[in-house]
Amino acid sequence: MTAQANVGVVGLAAMGASLARNLAHHGNTVAIYNRTPKRTDTLMEQHGDEGAFVPSYTLQDFVDSLIPPRTAIIMVKAGEPTDEMINALADLMQPGDIIVDAGNAYFPDTMRREKEIRARGLHFVGCGVSGGEEGALKGPSMMPGGTEESWQTLKPILESIAAKAEGEPCVTHIGANGAGHFVKMVHNGIEYSDMQLIAESYDLMRRGLGMSANEIGDVFEQWNKSELESYLIEITADVLHEQDKTTGKPLVDIILDHAGMKGTGTWTVQTALSLGVPVTGIAEAVFARGLSSQTALRQGAQAIDFAGPDGSLQLSEQERESFIEDIRHALYASKIVAYAQGFNEITTAAQEYDWKIDLAAVARIWRGGCIIRAKFLNRIAEAFESGQAETSLLFAPYFKEAIEQAQASWRRVVARAAQYGIPTPVFASSLSYFDGLRADRLPAALIQGQRDYFGAHTYQRVDKEGTFHTLWAEEGRPEINA
Q: Which stretch binds ligand NDP (CB under 6 A): 23-31, 62-70, 75-83, 460-468?
A: 75-83
Closest residue to ligand NDP, based on beta-carbon distance: 103
352 makes contact with ligand NDP (CB under 6 A) = no
Cis peptide leading into 69, omega within 30 of 0?
Answer: yes
Our CB check for ligand NDP shows the closer of 373 and 416 to be 373
Q: Is 386 helix (H, G, I), strand (E, B) or coil?
A: coil
> Residue 12 or 165: which CB sits closer to ligand NDP?
12
Is there binding between residue 129 and ligand NDP (CB under 6 A)? yes
Buried/exposed code over 274-287 (b: 16+ C-beta within 10 A; e: otherwise): ebebbbbbbbbbbb
> Is 13 among the residues that bind ligand NDP (CB under 6 A)?
yes
Q: Judged by CB under 6 A, which stretch of 114-122, 127-135, 332-340, 441-449 contacts ligand NDP? A: 127-135
Q: With CB under 6 A as the contact rule, which of the stretches 22-30, 81-89, 192-200, 279-287 interacts with ligand NDP?
A: 81-89
Q: Of 66, 76, 330, 426, which one interacts with ligand NDP (CB under 6 A)?
A: 76
**Binding residue (CB under 6 A) for ligand NDP from 133, 159, 203, 227:** 133
| 36 binds ligand NDP, rule: CB under 6 A | yes
If binding is defined by CB under 6 A, does position 425 make contact with ligand NDP?
A: no
User: Is residue 181 within 8 Å of residue 128, measured between CB atoms?
Assistant: yes
| Binding positions | 11-16, 34-36, 76-78, 104, 130-132, 187-188, 192, 262, 289, 451, 457
Q: Is 78 in the site for ligand NDP (CB under 6 A)?
A: yes
- List all residues 6 or more positions away from 318 whose beta carbon is below 8 Å from its beta carbon: none
Q: Which of 1, 3, 14, 261 binds ligand NDP (CB under 6 A)?
A: 14
Q: Closest approach of Cβ 166 to ligand NDP, in Å?
A: 24
Question: What residues act catalytically?
Answer: 184, 191
- Asked if residue 210 binds ligand NDP (CB under 6 A), the reply is no
Q: Which stretch, 60-68, 76-84, 302-310, 414-422, contacts ligand NDP (CB under 6 A)?
A: 76-84
Q: What's the distance, CA 449 to chain centroid?
A: 38
Residue 243: phi and psi, rounded to 5, are -100, 145
How many Å apart are CA 131 and CA 140, to the nearest integer? 5
The DSSP annotation for 69-129 comes to SPEEEE-S-TTHHHHHHHHHHHHHS-TT-EEEE-S---HHHHHHHHHHHHHTT-EEEEEEE
Stretch that binds ligand NDP, among 28-36, 169-177, 380-388, 438-446 (CB under 6 A): 28-36
Question: Integer distance in angstroms from the first to the last C-alpha of the chain?
Answer: 74
92: contact with ligand NDP by CB under 6 A: no
Choices 126-134, 196-204, 339-347, 364-372 (CB under 6 A): range interacting with ligand NDP: 126-134
Closest separation in Å from C-beta 132 to ligand NDP: 4
- Binding-site annotation, residues for NADP(+): 11-16, 34-36, 76-78, 104
Question: Does residue 34 interact with ligand NDP by CB under 6 A?
Answer: yes
The answer to whether 144 contacts ligand NDP (rule: CB under 6 A) is: no
Spatial separation of the C-alpha atoms in residues 380 and 362, rounded to whole Å: 10
Q: Under rule CB under 6 A, how many of the chain's residues touch ligand NDP?
A: 22
Nearer to ligand NDP, 33 or 420 (CB): 33
The reply to whether 11 sits near ligand NDP by the rule CB under 6 A is yes
**Is 73 in contact with 9 (CB distance < 8 Å)?**
yes
Q: How far is the CB of 83 from ligand NDP (least distance, A)?
A: 9
Q: How far apart (Å, rounded) are the C-alpha atoms in residues 214 and 242?
A: 8
Residue 75: HSE in the Cβ half-sphere, 13 Å Cα cutoff: 22
CA 103 to CA 121: how far, in whole Å? 22
**Any contact of residue 52 with ligand NDP (CB under 6 A)?**
no
Strand partners, 481: 468
Residue 423, CA distances (Å) to 258, 266, 293, 314, 366 in order: 15, 21, 15, 17, 29
For the bound state, the minimum distance from the C-beta of residue 255 to ligand NDP, rounded and expressed in Å, comes to 19
- Contact predicate 448/306, CB 8 Å: no
Residues of span 150-179 touching ligand NDP by CB under 6 A: none
CA distance 238 to 318: 27
37: nearest Cα among 16, 65, 58, 8 = 58
Q: Which of 5, 8, 9, 16 binds ligand NDP (CB under 6 A)?
A: 16
By CB under 6 A, residue 85 contacts ligand NDP: yes
Tell me if 32 contacts ligand NDP by CB under 6 A: no
CA 24 to chain CA centroid, nearest Å: 28
Establish if 39 lies at the interface with ligand NDP (CB under 6 A). yes
Q: In what order do the strands lie in the sheet with 71-74?
A: 52-55, 29-33, 7-10, 71-74, 98-101, 123-130, 141-144
Residue 11 near residue 76, CB atoms below 8 Å: yes
Instruction: Answer yes or no: are the C-beta atoms of 378 and 233 closer than 8 Å.
Output: no
**CB-nearer residue toward ligand NDP: 34 or 71:** 34
**Which spans of this chain sit near ligand NDP (rule: CB under 6 A)?**
11-16, 34-36, 39, 75-78, 81, 84-85, 103-104, 129, 132-133
